[in-house]
Amino acid sequence: MSVKWYCMKRGWLGSKRVGPIREPEFLHRIDSGEIRPETLIRCLSKTRGAWVFMRTITPAMKRWNEKHPVA
């Protein structure tokens, strides 16, 4: 069974929930910069259903730092 993620996407009309997103697509969105450290994300198994900032998820931040190194 695959882990399913949700994220909040902001627009000029407000925020909307995007998902479920499977893990490979979630990682691709981190790589492309669509999901950033300040993005709210949730997963029933990883965050117990709570909305948290991506920066609080250690593996996600490790992936972000690998793909988006600070100059």
pTM: predicted TM-score of the whole model, two decimal places: 0.85
Q: For position 10, what pLDDT does the model report?
A: 82
Q: For position 1, what pLDDT does the model report?
A: 52
Question: Residues 2-44: pLDDT tens digits?
Answer: 789 999 988 778 888 999 999 999 999 999 999 999 999 999 9
Residues 63-67 have a mean pLDDT of 95
> Exposed, middle or buried, 21 (CB in 10 Å: 0-12/13-18/19+)?
buried
With cut-offs at 50, 70 and 90, classify the pLDDT of residue 71: low
- Listed in sequence order, the residues at least 6 apart from 55 whose beta carbon sits closer than 8 Å to its beta carbon are 37, 38, 61
Domains defined for the chain, CATH in brackets: 4-67 (3.30.1490.40)
